[in-house]
Structure 1
Amino acid sequence: MGSNSDETIIENEDAPTYAPSIPVPNVQEMVRKEPAKIPDRYIRNDEDKPPITDMSHLSSEIPVINLSLLSTGETEELNKLDFACKEWGFFQVVNHGIAKEVLQNMKDATAEFFELPLEEKNKYEMPPDDIQGYGHAYVVSEEQKLDWSDALILLVHPSHYRKPKLWPSTPKGYREIINAYTKGVQKVGEQLLRAFSTVMGMDKDGLLALHKNLLQALRVNYYPACCRPDQVLGISPHSDTSSITILMQEADINGLQIRHNGGWVQVKPVPDALVVNVGDVIEILSNGKYKSIEHRAVTNQNNSRISYASFLIPQDDVEIEPLAHLVDSQRLMYKQVVYGEYARSSMQRKMEGKAHTEIAKIET
């Protein structure tokens, strides 16, 4: 990669920090030492536990969109996008243009990283004032229930916001692999935001211009197997503070569930597809026409699982409010928020459904 290698990126003193998180035990290590034990802090109340009712038959109804057709403005795919955002808040994209090899390299190298000894991974430990690095985010009190997962979180784009000391250098070439994968995701994100602009009645570059600079953060989640998966959650129910989120799943292990019609529906992996969901930013801009949907991750008894979530977000100082032409005769639902303030206020509280979107709502 020559002079563009991540190794040569100089640490930027102005790189943003986001929110502190209280240190908690490493789940993978805990399971390795005592696989048959679940500490109380992870056991969910009955209303939070994975439900008995099975809605997996609805998985096949989650829209699958062809990005190459969407990007050429194909009416049918644009209509499908509009439907997906109104009815589901989630969809899967195929023909997204990221090479299979790039996706596989990311999966292989990441699996290798999580198998490293804890002391090696802890070289990239989250600092006390931020959620970037290896560890746990959104832990704000000693009382809250903890998620059955560990994470590696990095701000990847623009490159001058990176904190190279938090980017793992093991396994060999991992930084370059992350770079190649997230570059591909950035391109997919830009194409998707152009399509969103079109279905939201804007000039096709309208949303990208509004973002000023399209930032991308990557969160890699590691969910160890659990002896009692019915007692824990891999990640608590939440909506994303992003504009859109692009997720790569394991090919053959279910774990992601989305809230739909009062229940939870599995998002079954489609081969080589990426899962996309509407974030809070699009909900606010669309005045609630498109909603960011609660989702969560469940665990299983036999296999660990890794997921790769890329959050595409506006620059900190961007002011987000409903687009005038989408309010029209409807009641104005959201007030103006400054994105950086909105995002940080949500990170300073535990993940709790859509509670943080109340900050942006106009009180009735």
Structure 2
Amino acid sequence: MNCLQSWPEPIVRVQSLSDSGIRAIPKRYVKGPSDRPSPLVESSAGSDVQIPVIDLQKTLDSIATACREWGFFQVVNHGVSHELMARTREVWREFFHLPLEEKQQYANSPSTYEGYGSRLGVEKGAKLDWSDYFFLHYLPTSLRDQNKWPKLPSSCRELVGKYNEELVKLCGKLTKILSLNLGLKEEYLQQAFGGEEVGACLRINFYPKCPQPDLTLGLSSHSDPGGMTLLLPDENVAGLQVRRARKWITVKPVPNAFIVNIGDQIQVLSNARYRSVEHRVIVNSVKERVSLAFFYNPRGDLLVQPAPELVAEDSPALYSPMTYNEYRVFIRTRGPCGKSQVESLKSPK
């Protein structure tokens, strides 16, 4: 764990690079040719192909289809105040436009990631993403420290508390639906996550304007290591791309919707009935983006393994038991690496 105590190189804030007026991005942000955004690849997916949009008050069965076929869906009529969603997103936009010295008070380290950051992973010389972020813990309450949340803007801490509280409720509803759709007891996933002692955290992503958006990414291709993610996107600027049939589909945000995606831990618990899906973020030359990713995860010290009800002679357990704490060391070391993390955990046949 020693490698996780400090960053391997001096941290450069991407927003500062963008604001400096540079016309060419530094080499450390330039992705290899196969990892760069390609207009040909994006357009080949077809503009009419989109992840499912699901009304949480009506069609619950369609969530099972979305989880099996996509691993992603947008949910509307979810019960979270639209005003709260908008205010929380905008207060974070205000935070990222505060003076650098104010934000630097919250500079983070890779040991917890909590605070103001600009890179994932601690491999020296690694290619970096074109983004800054703020990461904070919400659950379990033993990890929650509101003094580590921004005190400016003055409404930030209150809004973040209310927002996180509402998203915990929504995740509780969704885990029940997913459990039933898998043929499990309603509370199965919630209990597998730790019952009332689940993990929950929030990462606010800030993607500054980029002079060469065709050479880099805001967030490299990855599947989410946790249980389930609720993303509040920037409705004014599309950026999230989902991988489907070897093509990248740019998600068109639906107003007042959350984008929900399955994480690696639900892939393991469902014995791959539901799969996490690679996704990435592209950046823009004329507009910045702000998005809020809420992660609902198993408690760190619980063993996560396929549900016994989903294991049989003709469908053996695909994954060996592992705690989420052990699992996430991988991404904290290497950063986003497609689906290599969860695929490497498959049990030998």
TM over 0.5: yes
- Equivalent residue, structure 1, for 2:225: 241
Write the mapping of 1:26-175 to structure 2, written as runs, cut at 5 A.
Answer: 26-53=13-40, 54-55=43-44, 57=46, 60-69=49-58, 77-127=59-109, 129-175=111-157
Tell me if 1:302 matches 2:291.
no
Q: CA offset at residue 156 of structure 1?
A: 1.3
SS state at 2:105 partner:
helix
The range that moved more, 37-46 or 51-60, is 51-60
CA contact (8 A) 1:287 1:322 kept: yes
CA-atom RMSD in angstroms: 1.6
Q: CA offset at residue 336 of structure 1?
A: 1.1
Q: CA offset at residue 356 of structure 1?
A: 1.1
- Distance of 2:328 and 2:56 partners within structure 1: 28
Q: CA offset at residue 129 of structure 1?
A: 2.9
Write the mapping of 1:278-297 to structure 2, written as runs, cut at 5 A.
Answer: 278-297=262-281
- Distance of 1:195 and 1:137 partners within structure 2: 34
The range that moved more, 344-353 or 140-149, is 344-353
CA contact (8 A) 1:20 1:130 kept: no
Gap runs ≥5 in structure 1? 1-17, 70-76
- Distance of 2:332 and 2:47 partners within structure 1: 31
- Give the direction of change, closer, same or farther, for the CA distance of 1:339–1:128 in structure 2 (3 Å limit): closer
Q: How many residues align?
A: 340
Gap runs ≥5 in structure 2? none
SS state at 2:176 partner:
helix
- Distance of 1:357 and 1:330 partners within structure 2: 18
SS state at 2:91 partner:
helix
SS state at 2:296 partner:
strand
Identity %: 36
The range that moved more, 154-163 or 271-280, is 154-163
**TM-score of the superposition, structure 1-length normalised?**
0.89
Deviations 1:35-94, CA, capped at 9 Å, x for gaps: 31300000111000001221453565411111233xxxxxxx232111111111100000
Deviations 1:116-156, CA, capped at 9 Å, x for gaps: 01111001110463211001342312321100000000011
SS state at 1:360 partner:
coil
- Equivalent residue, structure 1, for 2:323: 338
- Distance of 2:122 and 2:44 partners within structure 1: 32
> Which residue identity is paired with 1:185?
L
- Equivalent residue, structure 2, for 1:4: none
Write the mapping of 1:206-285 to structure 2, written as runs, cut at 5 A.
Answer: 206-212=188-194, 213-285=197-269
- Distance of 2:152 and 2:118 partners within structure 1: 20
- Distance of 1:289 and 1:20 partners within structure 2: 38
- Distance of 2:109 and 2:306 partners within structure 1: 35
Write the mapping of 1:186-225 to structure 2, written as runs, cut at 5 A.
Answer: 186-212=168-194, 213-225=197-209
- Give the direction of change, closer, same or farther, for the CA distance of 1:130–1:61 in structure 2 (3 Å limit): closer
CA contact (8 A) 2:121 2:331 kept: no
The range that moved more, 319-328 or 108-117, is 319-328
- Give the direction of change, closer, same or farther, for the CA distance of 1:348–1:238 in structure 2 (3 Å limit): same
- Distance of 1:363 and 1:59 partners within structure 2: 40
Q: CA offset at residue 21 of structure 1?
A: 4.0
1:349 corresponds, among 334, 340, 346, to 334
